[in-house]
C-alpha cells in the first residue's frame, strides 16, 4: 500500500493553486493524500482560493484534512512535500518589472532581462524563507519549487542553501512538448523521450524519439520551420483558446528555430535573439501583467467566488493542466521511487561536459526517492555555449548582488544581460528599479 502524503501549497493564493488541487484529486489512486494545507502571507487572497477548494475537497475527497493558514509553524509542520509558487510583490510589482525597462526601450518581461533580475532580487529572500521554515518544521520534506524567476532562485538555493531538499522546476518545456505531441498526432507528450539542455527559459531539444527509438525531430522541425509551435488545431481554427500574446510567442519560435536548425528551441529565446522586434510590438502602458490581471486572475478568482456562492464545486470550471501534472509527477517520483525521466533545473556537475560545473542547468534527470539523477548531455556547441555563459554569469551576479547588497554587482549583471544595450541604460533602469523595489530588495551600497 502506498504511503499517504501530506502536502503544503506555499503561495496558496496563487492562480495556479486550484489547478494543482484538481490534479492531486485526479491522481489519488497513484498519489494518495491524507492532508492538504495552504500557506500564504496574504490571508485575504489565500482565503478566496481556499474557501472554494475546501468545498471542492469536501465533495470529492472528504477523507483529506484541509486547512489554510498564514502561520509558518502551523503550515510547515507534518509535511512531506511543499509545492511552492509564490510571487513576491504580486502582480503590482510584475507590472513595474515590465514597464520600467520599456520606458528605456528595453524588453520588460517576467523572467528575462531587467524584469527577471528585479523579480529575482525579490524572490530570493521569499524562497529562502520557505526553505528555512521547511527545514525547521519538517526536515525530511522536499520542496518542489515553481516560484520564478526559476533560474535565479535555483542559483540562490544552490549557493545559499546547498544542502536543502529543494528542486526548482519549470512548466515551459512540458508545455512545448505537449504542442510537439499534437503536431505528431501522439496522444501524450509522455510518448516522447527527449534530450535537452540549457538554462531555465533558455534551452534546446537535441533529440526526440518515440518509445521504439524512432527519430521524431524531422517531422517537428518541418512544422516549426513553417508555423513555430502553433498547433495544427490552432492553425485550422479561426478561434483559439490561447491568448494573442502566447500565440505570438509560439509563432515567433519559427524565427528562433532559424538560428540553429539542428535543434528545437525554447520559446523565450525570442527575447534574446529578437529583443528590438519584441519591444516594437510591446505596449508600454499595457503589458503581460495587465493581461494576466484582466484574464487569468479574474477568471480564477471569479470562478472560486462562484463556487463559494453556490456552495458546491460540482460544475467547477477550473482545470488541471501540464503545469499541475508535472509537479504531481515529480512528487510521485520522489515518494514512490518511480525513476521518471523529467527535465529539472540542477547543478551541472559535468552533465554538460564543457560547461561551468556550478551552473544551474535544465536537463533530463531520472527522479527517485533520493531526488534527481542528472543524465549526461555531453558537449554543447559554441553558439549555445557562448549564449549560456553570458546568461549564467548574469544569474550568478544577481545572487552575488543580493548576498552582498552590492549596487556595483547588480549594475554589472544588468549590463551583461544580452537584452540591455549598454551600461548607461542599465544604470538608468537599475536606479528606477531600486526606487520601485525599496520594500523588497536588500539595501544596495
Ligand atoms: N516555473 C514555472 O515554469 C512557472 C510557471 C507558472 C507560474 N510560475 C510562478 O508561480 C508563481 C505564482 O504565479 P501566479 O501568477 O499564480 O501568482 P499569484 O500572484 O497569483 O500568486 C502568488 C501568491 O504568492 C503569495 N506570496 C507572495 N510572497 C509570499 C511569501 N513571501 N510567502 C508566502 N506567500 C507569498 C501571494 O500573496 C500570492 O497569493 C510565480 O512565481 C510565477 O512566476 C512558474
Ligand atoms: O505570462 P504568464 O503569467 O501567463 O506566464 C508566464 C509563465 O509562462 C510559462 O508557463 C506557461 C507555459 O509555458 C505554457 O505552455 C502554458 O502552460 O502556460 C504557462 C503559463 O500560463 C513559464 O514556464 C513560466 O515560468 C512563466 O511564469
Ligand atoms: Mn518557467
Protein residue with its CA nearest to atom 9 in ligand 2? 172
220 lines ligand 2 (CB under 6 A): no
Q: How far is the CA of 336 from the centre of ligand 2 (A)?
A: 28
Protein residue with its CA nearest to atom 27 in ligand 2? 148
Q: How far is the CA of 148 from the centre of ligand 3 (A)?
A: 7
Q: How far is the CA of 154 from the centre of ligand 3 (A)?
A: 12
Q: What's the pLDDT score for residue 242?
A: 86
Q: What's the pLDDT score for residue 200?
A: 98
pLDDT tens-digit profile of 226-251? 999 999 999 998 777 789 999 999 99
> Beta partners for 35?
6, 65
Q: What's the pLDDT score for residue 370?
A: 97
Q: Go through the chain and tell me how many residues it has.
A: 445
What is the C-alpha separation between 177 and 195, in angstroms, rounded?
A: 12
By the 8 A CB rule, do 415 and 399 touch? no
Q: What's the pLDDT score for residue 162?
A: 98
Helices (H), 27-88: 43-60, 72-76
Rg over alpha carbons for the chain, rounded to the nearest Å, is 21
Q: What's the pLDDT score for residue 78?
A: 98
By the 8 A CB rule, do 51 and 40 touch? no
Q: What's the pLDDT score for residue 171?
A: 97
ipTM over 0.90: yes
Q: Which ligand minimizes its atom distance to the CA of 109?
A: 2
pLDDT tens-digit profile of 181-224? 999 999 999 999 999 999 999 999 999 999 999 999 999 999 99
122 lines ligand 1 (CB under 6 A): no
120 lines ligand 1 (CB under 6 A): no
Q: What's the pLDDT score for residue 161?
A: 98
Q: What's the pLDDT score for residue 237?
A: 84
Q: What's the pLDDT score for residue 97?
A: 98
What is the C-alpha separation between 74 and 216, in angstroms, rounded?
A: 49
168 lines ligand 1 (CB under 6 A): no
Q: How far is the CA of 173 from the centre of ligand 1 (A)?
A: 19
11 lines ligand 1 (CB under 6 A): yes
Q: What's the pLDDT score for residue 134?
A: 98
By the 8 A CB rule, do 57 and 49 touch? no
Q: What's the pLDDT score for residue 240?
A: 72
Residues of the chain with pLDDT under 70: none
Q: Which residues are catalytic?
A: 171, 268
CA dihedral over 159, 161, 401, 145, signed as positive or negative: positive
Amino acid at each position: 500500500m502506498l504511503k499517504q502524503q501530506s502536502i503544503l501549497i506555499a503561495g496558496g493564493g496563487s492562480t495556479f493553486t486550484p489547478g494543482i488541487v484538481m490534479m492531486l484529486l485526479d491522481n489519488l489512486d497513484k498519489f494518495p493524500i491524507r492532508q492538504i494545507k495552504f500557506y500564504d502571507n496574504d490571508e485575504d487572497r489565500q482565503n478566496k482560493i481556499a474557501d472554494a477548494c475546501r468545498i471542492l475537497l469536501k465533495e470529492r475527497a472528504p477523507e483529506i484534512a484541509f486547512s489554510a493558514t498564514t502561520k509558518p509553524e502551523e503550515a510547515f509542520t507534518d509535511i512531506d512535500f511543499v509545492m511552492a509558487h509564490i510571487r513576491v510583490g504580486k502582480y503590482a510589482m510584475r507590472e513595474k518589472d515590465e514597464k520600467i525597462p520599456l520606458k528605456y526601450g528595453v524588453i520588460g518581461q517576467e523572467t528575462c532581462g531587467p524584469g527577471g533580475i528585479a523579480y529575482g532580487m525579490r524572490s530570493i529572500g521569499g524562497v529562502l524563507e520557505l526553505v528555512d521554515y521547511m527545514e525547521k518544521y519538517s526536515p525530511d520534506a522536499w520542496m518542489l519549487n515553481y516560484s520564478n524567476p526559476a533560474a535565479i532562485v535555483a542559483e540562490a538555493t544552490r549557493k545559499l542553501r546547498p544542502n536543502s531538499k529543494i528542486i526548482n522546476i519549470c512548466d515551459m518545456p512540458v508545455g512545448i512538448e505537449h504542442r510537439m505531441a499534437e503536431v505528431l498526432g501522439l496522444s501524450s507528450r509522455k510518448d516522447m523521450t527527449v534530450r535537452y539542455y540549457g538554462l531555465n527559459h533558455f534551452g534546446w531539444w537535441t533529440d526526440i524519439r518515440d518509445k521504439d527509438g524512432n527519430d521524431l525531430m524531422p517531422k517537428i522541425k518541418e512544422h516549426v520551420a513553417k508555423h513555430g509551435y502553433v498547433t495544427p488545431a490552432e492553425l485550422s481554427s479561426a478561434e483559439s483558446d490561447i491568448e494573442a500574446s502566447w500565440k505570438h510567442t509560439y509563432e515567433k519560435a519559427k524565427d528562433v528555430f532559424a538560428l540553429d536548425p539542428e535543434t528545437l528551441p525554447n520559446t523565450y529565446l525570442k527575447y534574446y535573439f529578437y529583443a528590438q522586434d519584441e519591444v516594437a510590438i510591446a505596449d508600454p502602458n499595457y503589458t503581460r501583467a495587465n493581461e494576466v490581471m484582466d484574464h487569468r486572475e479574474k477568471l480564477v478568482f471569479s470562478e472560486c467566488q462562484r463556487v463559494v456562492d453556490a456552495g458546491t464545486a460540482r460544475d467547477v470550471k477550473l482545470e488541471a493542466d501540464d503545469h499541475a501534472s508535472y509537479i504531481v509527477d515529480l512528487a510521485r517520483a520522489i515518494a514512490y521511487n518511480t525513476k521518471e525521466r523529467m527535465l529539472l533545473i540542477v547543478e551541472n556537475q559535468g552533465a554538460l561536459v564543457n560547461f561551468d560545473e556550478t551552473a544551474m542547468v535544465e536537463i533530463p534527470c531520472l527522479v527517485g526517492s533520493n531526488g534527481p539523477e542528472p543524465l549526461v548531455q555531453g558537449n554543447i556547441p559554441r553558439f549555445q555555449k557562448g549564449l549560456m555563459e553570458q546568461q549564467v554569469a548574469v544569474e550568478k551576479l544577481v545572487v552575488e548582488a543580493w548576498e552582498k547588497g552590492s549596487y556595483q554587482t547588480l549594475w554589472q549583471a544588468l549590463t551583461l544581460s544580452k537584452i540591455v544595450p549598454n551600461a548607461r541604460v542599465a544604470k538608468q533602469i537599475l536606479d528606477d528599479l531600486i526606487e520601485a523595489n525599496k520594500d523588497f530588495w536588500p539595501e544596495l551600497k
